[in-house]
Amino acid sequence: MDIKKFLSPADAHVDLRASHKTRLLQELARRAAKALDLAPEQISAEILKREELGSTGTGGGVAIPHARIQELNKPFGVFARLNKPIDFEAIDGRPVDLVFLLLLPADPVGEQLKALASVARKLRDPASLRDLRAANGSARLYDAMTA
């Protein structure tokens, strides 16, 4: 699935500040809620509930927090590069600086899993990671994520 289908240029952010994992997830939930006209507490609660099952820190400085949201009918993403890496309890123990929040409709459908797979594939590619970390500004970050 093309990442442009669920990530808009307005939802790519550079130098996002976060003191710890929970604060970061709440901030990303707030940004998503504003774009979707939903309650930030609802999104935050679902994301944090998913994190309780196990960290979505996939390693290599990357995290892909995700949750299903009843009111959605298509995937929605918020992507951020942090101003400094934070502990995310990632699988490799490394701090995280690239975070893609992915919200999915509550009813599981194959297309939704393709959204998660496309983000994971992009954030595993060494050349993509290099470009994302070198991107100068939000527009370039978006371009690097959707190229």
> Residue 5: what pLDDT?
96
Instruction: Retrieve residue 59's tokens.
Output: 């390693």
Helix (H, G, I), strand (E, B) or coil at 123: coil
| Length of the chain, in residues | 147
List pLDDT tens digits, range 23-77.
999 999 999 999 999 999 999 999 999 999 999 999 999 999 999 999 999 999 9
Domain ranges of the chain: 3-146
List pLDDT tens digits, range 12-22.
999 999 999 99
Q: Strand 57-59 relative to strand 62-63: parallel, antiparallel, unpaired?
A: antiparallel
d(CA 130, CA 147): 13
What residues have CB less than 8 Å from 22, skipping those under 6 apart?
48
Fold of the 3-146 domain = Mannitol-specific EII; Chain A (3.40.930)
CB distance 106 to 83 below 8 Å = no
d(CA 5, CA 97): 23
Q: What is the pTM of this model?
A: 0.96
CB distance 28 to 12 below 8 Å = no
Active site residues: 66
CB distance 77 to 103 below 8 Å = yes
Whether 110 has a pLDDT exceeding 80, the answer reads: no
